[in-house]
Structure 1
């Protein structure tokens, strides 16, 4: 299997209030990101600026990847300027001139690199999940196919931005696609693996603030007179989770009190004891977190 590693230049779940990521996006990338944010909301996980190193395709960047539970994954290559398909070539024209480009090749390469990365991970048992590439051209009017590779339904033009969600979901719903649809738990695991591989954290959106708020609330209660009863010393067990000084009251067995934790750090199942899940370990709300991992 080809060797693939992943690095995340930007990781955002596109919750309202998220800041601009460190890497400056182009105007076209911002337009696509805004459309995805507004239309998918909390119904999908959107990652931007993922970089992969792939033995087959070399260094690959995915401008946007959308993980949609029970539907599939959309890999989007974004092209600014005015894009044309002339005599078998893709051309992009900007104020600085024109140049050839290969957006379909880039999008396909990113799709392959993402799949290869997931399938290389020992935690991943989901096999090959449904995924498709798209080329987004927010400043280009698209009315037909761009050659034999650029099928109209996979090209997102300027007039398509208000319905980008519908277009993506329509392609992923194709009954002729052989791969199965990923579950919400698999989406959670996939985003966690990409998250952990780059050692980054989500932006300061609602989810992040909820986690910080829960953590700070617990600490204030403890410092306010409840004492440290029930706090256990957390010891790393070859799980990759570092040593902490206390346990969250919301999980059994112990999950250390931190600003943020995820299943790739915990690496075993957790029971949510009071229906409060500040670390968002229980993806399907059944009271059991990190279900794709073994029992402790």
Structure 2
């Protein structure tokens, strides 16, 4: 979000809850231990590193990157927090109506001395995240594949 910050979001569907044993989610009727904070942080750092490695990116890691968890079908109290998940980074069913405002606040709470990207930087980040693995159709690869298949069929026919 230009002039606001970057927020990487982990969305968890179904019933999600947190107790003394950690985070849980119901999957196909079974209770499963999950790690949404670890997942979203790992993803945030991976994306941030990917952007930083791109030669077009000149800002190093000076831009504010935050993370949050969205649980659109589960409710958490207003005072619900875990040591690794402050309430301002947890967006539950009751928060969906004003999710954009909450994500803006989430981004701003994640600044930690960094600055928000401007419009040009957000556009560049989006361009970088589009990927650098652009390859082209190779007519020779198709030809070689057909030749290998013809050779295999010829050997199979000759061996009969």
Decide whether aligned partners of structure 1 residues 156 and 198 sit closer, same or farther in structure 2, where only a CA change above 3 A counts. Answer: farther
Corresponding residue pairs, total:
133
Secondary structure of the 1:145 match is coil
Q: Within the alignment, does 1:103 sit opposite 2:36 as a pair?
A: yes
Quote the residue 1:189 is aligned against.
124
Secondary structure of the 1:180 match is coil
Quote the residue 1:132 is aligned against.
66
Q: Assess if the C-alpha contact under 8 Å between 1:145 and 1:152 holds in 2.
A: yes
Secondary structure of the 2:41 match is helix
Q: Which moved more, 1:88-97 or 1:147-156?
A: 88-97
Q: In terms of Rg, which structure is larger? A: 2
Equivalents in 2 of 1:175, 1:139: separation in Å? 25
Q: Assess if the C-alpha contact under 8 Å between 2:7 and 2:106 holds in 1.
A: no
Q: Assess if the C-alpha contact under 8 Å between 2:68 and 2:106 holds in 1.
A: no
Q: Within the alignment, does 1:112 sit opposite 2:52 as a pair?
A: no
Decide whether aligned partners of structure 1 residues 108 and 192 sit closer, same or farther in structure 2, where only a CA change above 3 A counts. Answer: same
Task: Provide TM-score, normalisation by structure 1.
Answer: 0.43
Cα shift at 1:172:
2.0
Structure 1, unmatched stretches of 5+, are 1-67, 200-296
Matches within 5 A, 1:156-167: 156-167=91-102
Equivalents in 2 of 1:159, 1:198: separation in Å? 40
Structure 2, unmatched stretches of 5+, are 135-160
Higher helix proportion: 2
Higher RCO (CA 8 Å, separation ≥ 6 residues): 2
Cα shift at 1:90:
0.6
How far does the alpha carbon of each residue in 1:203-232 deviate from its partner, in whole angstroms, 9 at most, with x for none? xxxxxxxxxxxxxxxxxxxxxxxxxxxxxx
Decide whether aligned partners of structure 1 residues 84 and 175 sit closer, same or farther in structure 2, where only a CA change above 3 A counts. Answer: closer
Q: Assess if the C-alpha contact under 8 Å between 2:65 and 2:111 holds in 1.
A: no
Equivalents in 1 of 2:40, 2:110: separation in Å? 22
Quote the residue 1:151 is aligned against.
86
